[in-house]
Amino acid sequence: MTDSPAPSSPKQQPAPSVPARGPAEGGPRRHWSLLGSVVGPFLALIAVVGLFGAADSMQGEGGTFLTVRNLQALSVQTAPVAVAALGMTVIIIAGGIDLSAGTAMALCATVLAWSLKEDVALVIRTGGNVQSAAVDVKEAEDRLTEIDRNLSAADRQLESSGLPAPRRERLQNRRTSLQKEQQELQTALPVLQQRLSSMEQQSATWTRFTPAVAVVLAVATGCLCGLLNGVIISALQVVPFIVTLGTMTFYLGLAKMLAEETTVRPDRATQVPDWLTDFLSIRSHAQIGGFPLGVWLAILLALLLAVVLRYSVFSRHVFALGSSEATARLCGINVARNKAAVYALGGLFIGIGGLYQFARLSVGEPTAGIGLELRVIAAVVIGGGSLSGGRGSVPGTLAGAAVMAVIASGCTQLGLRNPVQDIVLGDIIVAAVTVDQIRQRRLAAG
C-alpha cells in the first residue's frame, strides 16, 4: 500500500528498510495492511459483483444479476464449496493442504445416499432392510413358480410314451431334485415372509431414524478421512501434498466400491426426508427468512469457526504451526497431535460438505468430487490464505468461494462461453496468489 508517505514510490527498491520505519510509521501502515487483508477479498467480491452487475444491466430488460433471486441462487451455489473450504482454511493456515477434500466429500455424499437407500437405521438394528427382505421373498416365490412350471413340463414329457430309457431316467432324477428343492423352499418361504413382515414392523419404528443416522455416518466418514490424512502426515512425516494425493484416489475408490461403480439413488419420495430435499433449495417453500436451512447452517458454521480461530488456544497453535513448525515445536506444542486434529477438523467440514453436496444433487455420485478440491483450495487462496501457511481467514474464504460462484454464474447469465469462464477464473486465482506473494515478500523484507 502506498498510503501515507508520498516519496516512497514504487520506483525505489523494496529492499530491507524496516528498522528505521518500525516504531514511527508502523502504526498506520500496520492498520492498513490488517484492514487490507480482511477487506481485500471482499473488495474482490464487490468488484466482481459490480462488474457483472454493470454488464448485466446493460444487456437489456434492466438486468437480473442484482436481484434477490440471484443472491439466493448464488448463496446455494457457494455453500457446498464454502463449507468444505472452511475446513481447508484451517488446514492451510496450519501449513498443510488436502488434495483429497474433493473425493472425500463425494465419498461422504455417497455414504449419505447409500445409508438412506439401504435404510441404515434398520440395517443397524436388524442386519437387513425391507427391500432386501422383500427381494428374498420375491426370489423364493419366483423360483417356486419356475419349479412348478418345470415340474409340470417334466410330468408331461414323462407321460408321453416313446421316451428313450436314459432320457427318461435323467428326467426322473431331475424331477426328484426339483421336488426336493420345492420342499425346501416351501419351508423356507414362510420364514422369509415372516422376516419381511417383522422387518416391516420394525421399519415402522426404526426407519424414521435413518436420516439422522445417515447424516451422522456421512459426517463421521469425513472426520475419519481427515483423521487418516492427519495421522499419516504426522506419523510418517510425509509432505501433505503427497499423502493427500494418494488418499484422493483412495477415497475415490472407496466411494466407487460403496456405490458399486454407479450412482447411488435413494428414492426421493420415500427415502429422502423433506428437510434434506429442501436443505439447499431456493424454491419458496424451502426458504426460512429468505434462505434455505443449508445457507443458514453454513453461516453459523462460519461464525463458529471464526470465533474458534480468534479466541481458541488451538487456533494459536494452528497459526504457529503454519508460520513456523520449528517455532511451534520449540514452544512445546505437540506438533503431531495438532496436525492430526487440524486434518480431522478439516474432515469434519468435508463431511458436512458431503451433506451439502448430496442435498444439492439428491444422488450420491462417487466421481462428483473430482476436481472439487481445487475449487475448495482456490476459495481459500482467493480469500487471502497463504499456501505457505500461517495465514487465512474465515470471511476471506467465504468471499473467495463467493467470487468463484459469482464468476461462474455471471458468465452464464451474460451468455459468455465456457472457455471465457475458465480463463477469467484462472486469472482471478493467479491474481490472488500474486497478491499473497507480494505480501509475503514485504514481510520477509521486514
Partner 1 sequence: MRSTPIKYSRTPSTSLSGAAAPRSSTPVRGRSRPQSQCWRKTSLRFLPLVLACCCLLAAGCGGKTEDGTTAGSPGATGDGPAKYTFAVIPKGTTHEFWKSVHAGAVNAAMEIGGVEILWKGPLLENDREGQINVVQDFITRQVNGIILAPLDSQALVDYVAEAGDANIPVVIFDSGLEGPPENFVSYVATENYNGGALAARRMGEKLGGKGDVVLLRYNPGSESTGQREAGFLETLQKEFPEVNILSSDEYAGTTPESSLDKATQVLNRHREEIDGIFAVCEPNATGVLQALRENELAGKVVFVAFDPNTDLTSGMEQGHVHGIVLQDPVAMGYEAVYALHRHLQGEEVKRRIPTGEYVATPENMNTPEMQQLLHPEQFQK
Partner 2 sequence: MTSPSPAAKTSAGGQPATGQEPAALLDMYRITKRFGATVALDEVSLQVDEGSVLALIGENGAGKSTLMKVLSGAHQPDSGSMRLDGQPYAPAGPHEARLAGAGMIYQELNLAPDLSVEDNIMLGQEQSRWGLLSRRAQRQAVTAALDQLGHRDLRPAAIVRTLPVGLQQLVEIARSLVNQARVLVFDEPTSSLTRHDTLHLFEVIRRLRDQGLGIIYISHYLEEIREVCDRYAVLRDGRSVGSGSLSGVSEEQLVSLMVGRSIDELFPQVPHEPGEVLLRVSSLTRRPLPTDVSFEVRRGEIFGIAGLVGAGRTELLRALFGLDAVERGTVEVAGQPTAASPAARIRAGLGFVSEDRKSEGLALTRSIADNLTLSRLSACSRLGFLSLNRQRQAVDHWMQRMQVRAAGQSQPVGELSGGNQQKVAIARVLYQHASILLLDEPTRGIDVGTKAEIYRLMGELARDGHAVIFVSSYLTELLAVCDRIAVMSRGRLRAVRNAADWTSEDIMSIAVAGDEGTADEGTNAGPPPASPAPTGHP
- Which residues in 7-36 contact partner 1 (CB under 8 A)? 10, 36
Q: State phi, psi for 13 to the nearest 5 degrees.
A: -65, 135
Which CB, 90 or 104, lies closer to partner 1?
104
User: Would you say 8 or 323 has its CB closer to partner 1?
Assistant: 8
Minimum gap (Å) between residue 141 Cβ and partner 1: 24
Q: How far is the CB of 338 from partner 2 (least distance, A)?
A: 12
Q: Compute the distance between CA of residue 333 and CA of residue 312 in angstroms, rounded to an integer.
A: 14
C-beta separation of 171 from 158 below 8 A: yes
Q: What are phi and psi of 279, to 5 degrees?
A: -55, -40
Residues that bind partner 2 (CB under 8 A): 8, 12-13, 15-23, 26-27, 29-30, 34, 311-314, 316-317, 319-320, 323-324, 326-334, 390-391, 443-444, 446
Cβ contact 171:155 at 8 Å = no
Q: Judging by beta carbons within 10 Å of its beta carbon (0-12, 13-18, 19+), is residue 237 exposed, middle or buried?
A: exposed
**Among residues 104 and 344, whose Cβ is nearest to partner 2?**
344
Residue 260 interacting with partner 1 (CB under 8 A): yes
Q: Does 383 bind partner 1 (CB under 8 A)?
A: no
For the CB of residue 329, give the shortest distance to partner 2 in the complex, in Å. 6
Neighbours of 382 (CB within 10 A): 29
Nearer to partner 2, 212 or 438 (CB): 438
* Interaction between residue 4 and partner 1 (CB under 8 A): no
69 binds partner 1 (CB under 8 A): yes
Shortest separation between residue 437's beta carbon and partner 1, angstroms: 10
126's contact among partner 1, partner 2, none, with CB below 5 to 8 A by partner kind, is none
- Alpha carbon distance, N-terminus to C-terminus of the chain: 15
Distance, C-alpha 31 to centroid of its chain: 36
Stretch that binds partner 1, among 257-265, 310-318, 321-329, 338-346 (CB under 8 A): 257-265
Give the integer Cα–Cα distance in Å for 3 and 14.
Answer: 15
Euclidean distance between CA atoms 95 and 346, whole angstroms: 13
Residues 411-430 binding partner 1 (CB under 8 A) are: 411-424, 427-428, 430
CA dist., res. 190 & res. 196, Å (int): 10
Rounded to 5°, the CA angle 326-321-441 comes to: 85
Interface with partner 1 (CB under 8 A), residue from 7, 60, 162, 164: 60
SS3 per-residue string spanning 87-111: HHHHHHHCCCCCCCHHHHHHHHHHH
The reply on whether position 128 binds partner 1 by CB under 8 A is no
Please identify which residue in the block is written with the cell numbers 514481510: 443
Q: Which does 213 bind (CB under 5 to 8 A by kind): partner 2, partner 1, none?
A: none
Instruction: Output the smallest distance, CB 139 to partner 2, in A.
Output: 56
